Chains A and B, each alone.
Chain A
Amino acid sequence: MILTPEEQEVLWLSLRVAFWSVFVSLPIAVAVAYLLARANFPGKTLFDAAVHLPLVLPPVVVGFVLLLLFGRRGPLGEILEQWFGIIVAFRWTGAALAAGIMGFPLMVRAIRLSFESIDRKLEAAASTLGAGRAGVFATVTLPLALPGIITGVLLSFARSLGEFGATITFVSNIPGETRTLPLAIYTYTQTPAGDAAALRLSAIAVLLSLAALYISEVLVRRAARRVTGEDALGRH
């Protein structure tokens, strides 16, 4: 299957949006997951609920809120533009922002679960060997949470690739800028005689999802073997 230039553009844009949404949200998700797994603070339940909000809200609502906050006249949009020179309204960066926020709860959930399953006695052992809190986190907690982190990355990556409602509401459907794979498919379904093109793009989406699933499965298995401490050959 040879891709047309337009399809290539859509595919490339989708991958770029998904990559950046995951790349930027990952460190924040790790921090939030660690906080939720380990810390106790007033308002924790509320904070937990807020993190999960994008999972239960209609995506259109998320997109609309983003539009209000990050539009060029929105309070956060102005700060981003004036301080960092980043414009997200009606740009692919905005699509990445929307995708990142929609995938965020999935990522936090997976990482938090793996933090919670770590044997904290190992962390105490590390501290008797000289590791401070940061040292324990970097050498014990984070490596042992790796399978959960990979799962979280995959879930949020897949969610980003499929993001539709928040994206179209926030940054519209601009060819070459914000028209990702789902938006392109939607556009073709609204066009007379666009079914064939929609079908081709849908096939691409299926292949992409399968590839992502396969890669993450391999990585998770490899990481899980590491954290159970068995030799690579699986000797017993």
Chain B
Amino acid sequence: MLSVDIERTLGGFRLAASFQAGEGVTALFGRSGAGKTSVVNAIAGILRPDRGRIAINGVTAFDSASGVDVPTPKRRVGYVFQEGRLFPHLSVRQNLNYAGLFSRGMPASDFERVVELLGLRDLLDRRPGNLSGGEKQRVAIGRALLSSPRLLLLDEPLASLDAHRKSEVLQYIELIRDEVKVPIVYVSHAVEEVVRIADTVVLMSAGSVLAVGPAEDVMGRPDLRPVEGAFEGGAVIDARVIEQDMEHDLATLAFDGGTLTATNVDALIGEPVRVRIRARDVSIALERPRRISIQNVLAGRITAVGPEHEGVVDITMAVGSAQLRSRITGRAARALDLAPGLQVYALVKAVSLGRRNAGTI
């Protein structure tokens, strides 16, 4: 349980963030420069707010009113930095055991477990200078986990990695989330990471919090466009794997509005997955099309037609209890007379649903 309510002014930038986060993963989501890193630095005690209060698991870490400011080493917050920040003069093993020098270490059994979980066994005697970017981040995560943290802060841990390493490290982070019972604050500006990993999303823009709520609510909001950019807007659906066709690398996912065929989803049958469907990947038909390559045809009803913006409109549809969005041209919307209440079919290519935007939750 984390409670943050802080203010800080630095130059022309004013940070005023207030939110509560519960168990699991809380994502601080927003464009770069939104103040996300300032918030985690304040939680860690690296940045001192002008005013406000921070409490971790009910323990006050900072309170300007009563003059409490617990120093960083005593806050017991594990921090994984964007650039890893491994100690170059120490081996991987010494990096992992670093907190033990300051009586923040953990028993040998925990060391073994973390090494096993993050696949660090073969790296223990190496030095950070020769590790790949993904290996460095895994070690950094392990080092933070082994400092008896009450809270884990991950600040854009994938930002400096290439696409392949990103998905590798993300899988390890998902593993940590599921196996280690420590609340996580995850900073990111990447929609697909947040969708895959977050339980709660804190949406930030220009130093303040725009929205806080469950990931599927916040990430599906139609007014996100200014934050996430025109390219990434979309909906988030929680579904379950009902079939895995290993031969063709296709998975069938069911939710209460129908089924979705997706490619290359790393999940077992029965596992819950969260799928993000970008609005630009969804087309609309008034009749059920036949003889068409598109694998996903979902019946729904239009609930809202957004304002036209640079020739483009966002159409929101109810599909079962889920809200799906489609981004089409204003001309197409007028040609079909799209209006709230109309029965339509949403068309989604299976190819647009893959490992990148579907993951276990």
Q: Is A57's CB within 8 Å of the partner chain B? A: no
A226 at the interface (CB under 8 A from B): yes
Cβ 8 A contact of B72, one of A128, A139, A144, A228: A128
Q: Does B73 contact A (CB under 8 A)?
A: yes
Q: How far is the CA of A85 from the CA of B193 in the complex (A)?
A: 70
Closest beta carbon of chain B to A129's beta carbon, Å:
4
Interface residue B98 (Cβ < 8 Å from any Cβ of A): yes
**Docked pose: A139 CA to B88 CA in angstroms:** 12
Residue from A128, A139, A229, A236 within 8 A of B78 (CB atoms): A128
Contacts of A130 in B (CB 8 A): 73, 76, 99, 101-104, 147
Contacts of B129 in A (CB 8 A): 228-231
Which residue of chain B has its CB nearest to the CB of A125? Answer: B85
Q: In the complex the two chains form, is A121's CB within 8 Å of B89's CB?
A: no
Does A143 sit at the interface, judged by CB under 8 A?
yes
Q: Among the listed A126, A128, A228, which residue makes an inter-chain contact with B88, where contact means beta carbons less than 8 Å apart?
A: A228
Most buried by A among B101, B126, B128, B144: B101
Nearest residue, chain B, Cβ from A127: B72
- Rounded to whole angstroms, the CA-CA distance of A131 and B86 in the bound complex is 15
B102 touches A128 (CB 8 A): no
Which residues does chain B contribute within 8 Å of A126, judged by CB atoms? Answer: 87, 98
List residues of B (26-45) whose CB comes within 8 Å of A's CBs. 44
B126 → chain A, closest Cβ, in Å?
Answer: 6
Is the C-beta of A50 less than 8 angstroms from some C-beta in chain B? no
A227 to B103, CA, bound (A): 25
Q: Does B130 contact A (CB under 8 A)?
A: yes
- Asked whether, in the complex, the Cβ of A229 is within 8 Å of the Cβ of B46, the reply is no
Interface size (A, Cβ < 8 Å)? Answer: 24
Is B79 touching A131 in the complex (CB atoms < 8 A)?
no
Q: Are B102 and A135 in contact, with the CB atoms below 8 A?
A: yes
The chain A residue with its CB closest to the CB of B148 is: A130
State in angstroms the CA–CA spacing of A235 and B127 once bound together: 10
Q: How far, in Å, is B237 (CB) from chain A's closest CB?
A: 37
A84 to B163, CA, bound (A): 67
Report if B143 contacts A (CB, 8 A). Answer: yes
Asked whether B89 lies within 8 Å of A226 as measured between CB atoms, the reply is yes
A133-154: which have CB < 8 Å to B? 135, 139-140, 143-144
Q: In the bound complex, how far is the Cα of B87 from the Cα of A235, in angstroms?
A: 18
Tell me the B144-158 residues at the A interface (CB within 8 Å).
144, 147
**CA A228 to CA B86, docked complex, whole Å:** 11
A132 at the interface (CB under 8 A from B): yes
Q: Is B77 an interface residue (CB 8 A)?
A: yes
Chain B residues with CB below 8 A from A227, complex form: 88-89
Q: How many whole Å from A223's CB to the nearest CB in chain B?
A: 9
Asked whether any CB of chain B lies closer than 8 Å to the CB of A124, the reply is yes
Instruction: State whether the Cβ of A210 lies closer than 8 Å to any Cβ in chain B.
Output: no
A24 at interface by CB-CB < 8 Å: no
Bound Cα distance A226, B127 (Å) = 9
Give residues 126-145 of B contacting A (CB, 8 Å): 126-130, 143-144
Query: Known contacts A126-B98, A128-B72, A128-B77: does B130 contact A236 (CB below 8 Å)?
Result: yes
Q: Which of B85, B101, B126 contacts A231 (CB 8 A)?
A: B126
Known contacts: A121-B83, A135-B101, A230-B129. The answer to whether A127 contacts B73 by CB under 8 A is yes
What CA separation (Å) do A230 and B83 show in the bound complex?
A: 17
Find out whether the CB atom of B79 lies under 8 angstroms from the CB atom of A125: yes
Contacts of A61 in B (CB 8 A): none
Say yes or no: A231 contacts B130, CB within 8 Å.
yes
Question: Does A122 contact B85, Cβ atoms closer than 8 Å?
Answer: yes
10 contacts between A and B (CB under 8 A): A126-B87, A127-B46, A130-B76, A130-B102, A130-B103, A139-B98, A226-B88, A229-B127, A229-B130, A231-B126
The 3 residue pairs across chains A and B that have the minimum distance between CB atoms: A229-B88, A229-B129, A130-B104
Can you name 13 extra interface pairs (CB under 8 A) apart from A121-B85, A131-B102, A135-B101?
A: A126-B87, A127-B71, A129-B143, A130-B101, A130-B147, A132-B102, A135-B102, A139-B98, A140-B87, A226-B88, A226-B89, A229-B129, A231-B126
